[in-house]
A and B are shown apart, each in its own frame.
Chain A
Amino acid sequence: MIRVNDKFDVEWQEGMTVNSLLTILKFTFPMIIVSVNGRVVPKSEYGPTRVEDNDEVKVIHLIAGG
C-alpha cells in the first residue's frame, strides 16, 4: 500500500512508477512537486522513477484557481 500525502491510500502494483501513481490518483495539475521518501523527483524522471511498496510519497500541488 502506498500512502500519498498522508491521506490517500493506493494499492501498490508491481512496476509502479511516479507516472503511473499520478495516473491512478488522477493528479493532472501541472504545477506539482513530487517527493518519494523525502527526495524530490524532477518532472523529467516521473517515468523511470520506481515507487516501491510502503514508500512515502508526497505530491504537493501549488495553489492556483481562477
Chain B
Amino acid sequence: MSTKDIQEMRQAHEVLAEFDYELGEVEKGYTNRTLYVNLSDNTIASKPVTQQMKDIFTGGKGFGLWLLWNGVTGDTKWNDPENEIVISSGPIGGTTQYPGSGKSLVVSLSPTTHSVIDSNVGGHFGPLLKFAGWDALEIQGKAERDVIVFIDGNAGKVTIEEAPEEAVDTHLIGEQMMEMFAKTDREKRDISTVSAGSGADHTLIGCLNFSWYDVRRKSVRFKQAGRGGIGTVLRDKKIKALVVKYSGRKGVANNPADRKRISKVGSKINKEIRDYDAVQNRMRNVGTPYLVSIMNDYDLLPVYNFRFGSHPEAEKIAGDVWEKRFTQDLPDGCWLGCTMSCSHAVDGYELRTGPYRGQVVIVDGPEYETTAGCGSNCGIFDPDALLEINFYCDTYGIDTISFGTLTAFVMECYEAGILNEEITGGLELSFGNAVAAIELLHQMGRGEGFGLIAGQGIRRVTQIFAQEYGGDPQFMHDIGMEAKGLEYSEYVTKESLAQQGGYGLASKGPQHDEAWLIFMDMVNNQLPTFEDKAEALHYFPMWRTWFGLCGLCKLPWNDIVPPDNAETDEPPKIPEHVQNYVELFSGVTGREVTKEDLITMSETVYNFQRVFNLKMGFGTREHDAIPYRSMGPVTVQEYESRAERYDKQLKELVRDDAEGKTTEEKMAALRAYREEQYEKLIDAVYKRRGWTPNGIPTPETLKRLHIDFPDMVELVRRHIE
C-alpha cells in the first residue's frame, strides 16, 4: 500500500467529533476514569471510576458489566443504539513482569444470545488504552456512515472520523490504520486496532480482531474476541476500526504499588516456563493445538458434529503437523513479557480461494478450537483447508468456534436430508467437504446465498429449517450444539456430567473458559458425588472469572505447573500459582488480598452477571438447559459406536439389563437417566452458589457480596415471588 493511498484515505475523513483530555498517570493499575463515546450524537466524555466501582467490580469484565448495566434497559436489543461495546483490561493489564498480563475483556449485548456476552482477547489494545489514560472504553450509539474512533494517548485527543475509503476486512484495515497513524516504523509498535470484517456485516457470529505489531515479522498480527457476535455489534454501529496510539511505554507503565514484589513472582514463573514447558505442554513450540491428539486419545475431540470423540485421521491436523508449519524460533506472545509465548503463525501462506486468492499472508493460529471446530467436527482433516478457513474467518470477522460448530450442525442436517443442494444453492455440505465449507464462509463474507441463512447461528437456523424445510425440531434441538443461543466450544462432554454443567451453567453460554473439569471428573474420578461436582462448579468458574477482572490470561496458571505441584494438597488448583496471583494483585494495586478474597471478587461479578441475564429476560433454570448431544448418544449409530460403554453403564448405573433390548430402547433408558442426572447436578450447583432452585441469586447472596443495589434486589424479588 503506498503512502499516497493512505494519505488519500485520510483526506477523505470528516472529523465528526473531537475531545481533548488531560493526560494522566496510571496509579497502581488504574487510571481512575473511563472513556465514553456516543456515535449517535457524537458526544465524547470522561467518566470517573469510583473507589466503590473498584472495590465491587475490580476491573476488566467487572467494569464492562457495570457500565453496560447502566447503559441499557431490560428491553434493549443488541442492535438498538443503546447497546454498548465496552473494552477494559483490568488493574494487572499492561504489566510486563508476569506472563499473560495484557488481555482485554469485551462486554456487549449479543445478537445470538440476546443477553450479556463477554469475551477475552490478547493483542495490545487494552494495555495501550490504559496507558493512553483510560480504564475502559465504552461505545454507545450508532454512526450514520462508517467511522473510526481514534484515541491519541500522547496528544490527549479522541476523534470520531468518518472513514469512507478504508477496507472493512481486518487484515487490510489493520495495516491501513498502522500506516496511517504511525509516523515512523518504530511507532507501529505503539498502535493497536479493533476491527471486524465483511462477514460480521452479514452474520450474527461476528468477532473482533485485536491487533499488535509484530516487530520481528514487521507485520500486524491479530487475536480474536470471538464469542457471541460482538463483531456484528461493532459493524452494526458502523465502526470500521477503533484505534489507540500510545508512545513511550516503559516496563513500569502500569505503575504498580510494589514493583519488587511483582518482579519476584514474575522471575519465578518465567524460570518455571523456561525450565519445564518443553517437557510439559510445549506451549512455546506448538501452543494450544497440542490438545488435538490428546483429546482424540481420550475420546473428547468433536468429530462429525460432536457425534464421536475421536477419528483415525486426527493426526493429520494434530500438534506435530502445526509445529512443522509454524515459524519457530520467534518468541511469539500476544502481549509484551509473556514468556509462555503460545501465539503461533504460519508465514507465507498463499490463499487458494476467495477475494484475496493468490495473496501471500500470515495466518495467526490455528488454535485448538479452530482446528477441532472447523476440522474434525466438520470431518475436515486437511491442514491447508483449515488455514484457509482460519484466515478468512479472521479477516471477515467471523468467530471460528461458532463457524465450526454451526457448519458441523448444517452438515449433519444435510446428511440427514433436512437440507439438499437446492436449498443450499448448490453447496454439497456433507462432512469432509472442505470446498463447500470454504464457499459457505465466502458467502458469509459476501452476504449472499445459504451463507446468509447459516450465519444466523444454530438457534435461529433451527427455526428456519423447521419452518421452511420441514426439519424435525426435536431432532435438530438434540443435535444443535448450542445453549443460550451460543455455539459450543470444542470438547465432547458426553462422559463428564460436571463438564455438561460447566457448559450449561456458564453465564454467557457454552464456552469452556469458566470451567474445564473433564479430566477431574471423567478420568480422575475426583468428583464422585453431586456435591463434589457442585463444589468444582463453584470454585473453578469463580477462579477463572478472576482472570477476566484483572486483564490476565489463564494459560500461565495451568498450562505450566511447578515440578512439585503433585505433592500439594490440591494439585488441580496449582496452589503455588494461586499464591503468585495473590502477590501480583497485592503488588500492583497495593490492596492486600488473600486467595479467598480473589474468589469473592469473582463471585461478586459472577452473581452480578447472573442477575444481568435476568434483567435481559433470561438467567433462570430453563436457560441452563443443554442439547442432548452434549449428554449422550442421539442416534443409533452413535450408541452402537460405543455400545460396550453404554451397555455397561446401563447395567451398572441404571440397573437396567441391556440384554434383549433394541438399541432404541437402550438409548431411551440411558437418556432418561442422563437427563435426570443433569437436573440433579443443577440443583446441587444452585444450592452451592446461593441461588434458588430456579437459578436466581437470593437477596441474601446479593447482600453478602455487597451488590444488593435496590434495582437488583427488586428485580430478583420479582422473580422469586
**A-contacting residues, B659-689, CB 8 Å:** none
CB pair A65–B491 under 8 Å, yes or no, is yes
Complex Cα–Cα for A31 and B558 (A): 10
- Contact for B559 among A5, A33, A58, A64, CB less than 8 A: A64
Given contacts A5-B524, A60-B524, A64-B281, contact A28 B293 (CB under 8 A): yes
CB pair A61–B297 under 8 Å, yes or no, is no
Name the residue of chain A whose CB is nearest to the CB of B288. Answer: A66
Name the residue of chain B whose CB is nearest to the CB of A5. Answer: B525
In the assembled complex, B46 has its CB within 8 A of some CB on chain A: no
CB pair A63–B572 under 8 Å, yes or no, is yes
In the assembled complex, the CB of B422 is this many whole angstroms from the nearest CB of chain A, namely: 38
Given contacts A5-B523, A7-B525, A31-B281, contact A60 B571 (CB under 8 A): yes
CB pair B519–A66 under 8 Å, yes or no, is no
- Contact for B566 among A28, A40, A65, CB less than 8 A: A40
Given contacts A7-B525, A60-B526, A61-B519, contact A66 B558 (CB under 8 A): no
CB pair B298–A29 under 8 Å, yes or no, is yes
Interface string of B130-156 (1 = CB under 8 A from A): 000000000000000000000000000
CB pair B368–A66 under 8 Å, yes or no, is yes
In the assembled complex, the CB of A44 is this many whole angstroms from the nearest CB of chain B, namely: 11
Complex Cα–Cα for A65 and B557 (A): 11
**B-contacting residues, A15-35, CB 8 Å:** 26-31, 33
Complex Cα–Cα for A3 and B262 (A): 45
Name the residue of chain B whose CB is nearest to the CB of A33. Answer: B566
Pairs across A and B, CB under 8 Å, 27 listed: A5-B523, A7-B525, A26-B297, A26-B298, A27-B297, A28-B293, A28-B297, A29-B298, A29-B519, A31-B280, A40-B566, A58-B524, A59-B523, A60-B526, A60-B571, A61-B519, A61-B520, A62-B565, A62-B572, A63-B517, A63-B519, A63-B572, A64-B281, A64-B291, A65-B516, A66-B291, A66-B369
CB pair A62–B523 under 8 Å, yes or no, is no
Contacting residues, chain B, for A63 (C-beta < 8 A): 516-517, 519-520, 540, 558, 572
CB pair A65–B571 under 8 Å, yes or no, is no
**B-contacting residues, A44-62, CB 8 Å:** 58-62
Contacting residues, chain A, for B281 (C-beta < 8 A): 30-31, 64
Give the interface size class of chain B: 35 or more
In the assembled complex, A6 has its CB within 8 A of some CB on chain B: yes
In the assembled complex, B482 has its CB within 8 A of some CB on chain A: no
In the assembled complex, the CB of B523 is this many whole angstroms from the nearest CB of chain A, namely: 5
**A-contacting residues, B540-580, CB 8 Å:** 540, 558-559, 561, 565-567, 571-572, 574
Chain A count of residues within 8 A CB distance of the other chain: 20
In the assembled complex, the CB of A22 is this many whole angstroms from the nearest CB of chain B, namely: 11
Contacting residues, chain A, for B288 (C-beta < 8 A): 66
Complex Cα–Cα for A7 and B293 (A): 23
Contacting residues, chain B, for A61 (C-beta < 8 A): 519-520, 523-524
Contacting residues, chain B, for A33 (C-beta < 8 A): 566, 571
In the assembled complex, B294 has its CB within 8 A of some CB on chain A: yes
Name the residue of chain A whose CB is nearest to the CB of B511. Answer: A66
In the assembled complex, B279 has its CB within 8 A of some CB on chain A: yes
In the assembled complex, B512 has its CB within 8 A of some CB on chain A: yes
In the assembled complex, B489 has its CB within 8 A of some CB on chain A: yes
Complex Cα–Cα for A4 and B240 (A): 55
Complex Cα–Cα for A29 and B297 (A): 9
Complex Cα–Cα for A65 and B559 (A): 8
Complex Cα–Cα for A31 and B563 (A): 10
Name the residue of chain A whose CB is nearest to the CB of B299. Answer: A26
Given contacts A28-B297, A29-B519, contact A62 B525 (CB under 8 A): no
Contacting residues, chain B, for A59 (C-beta < 8 A): 523-524
In the assembled complex, the CB of A66 is this many whole angstroms from the nearest CB of chain B, namely: 5
**A-contacting residues, B481-508, CB 8 Å:** 489-491
- Contact for B519 among A26, A30, A62, CB less than 8 A: A62
CB pair B561–A62 under 8 Å, yes or no, is yes
In the assembled complex, B367 has its CB within 8 A of some CB on chain A: yes
**A-contacting residues, B276-294, CB 8 Å:** 279-281, 288, 291, 293-294
Name the residue of chain B whose CB is nearest to the CB of A65. Answer: B516
Complex Cα–Cα for A33 and B558 (A): 15
Name the residue of chain B whose CB is nearest to the CB of A35. Answer: B566
CB pair B558–A62 under 8 Å, yes or no, is yes
In the assembled complex, the CB of B319 is this many whole angstroms from the nearest CB of chain A, namely: 11
- Contact for A64 among B297, B489, B525, B558, CB less than 8 A: B558
Select the residue from A26, A29, A58, A66 with max chain B CB neighbours within 10 A: A66
Complex Cα–Cα for A26 and B300 (A): 12
In the assembled complex, the CB of B55 is this many whole angstroms from the nearest CB of chain A, namely: 30
- 8 more CB-based (< 8 A) A-B contacts, given A5-B523, A29-B298: A27-B297, A28-B297, A29-B294, A31-B280, A31-B281, A59-B523, A62-B519, A64-B516
In the assembled complex, the CB of A30 is this many whole angstroms from the nearest CB of chain B, namely: 6
Contacting residues, chain B, for A58 (C-beta < 8 A): 524
Name the residue of chain B whose CB is nearest to the CB of A58. Answer: B524
Name the residue of chain A whose CB is nearest to the CB of B523. Answer: A61
Complex Cα–Cα for A28 and B295 (A): 9
Contacting residues, chain A, for B523 (C-beta < 8 A): 5, 27, 59, 61
Contacting residues, chain B, for A26 (C-beta < 8 A): 297-298
CB pair A30–B572 under 8 Å, yes or no, is no
Given contacts A66-B288, A66-B367, contact A31 B561 (CB under 8 A): yes
Name the residue of chain A whose CB is nearest to the CB of B572. Answer: A63
Complex Cα–Cα for A10 and B641 (A): 20
Contacting residues, chain A, for B567 (C-beta < 8 A): 40
CB pair B512–A65 under 8 Å, yes or no, is yes
Complex Cα–Cα for A51 and B572 (A): 25
Name the residue of chain B whose CB is nearest to the CB of A29. Answer: B294
Contacting residues, chain A, for B490 (C-beta < 8 A): 66
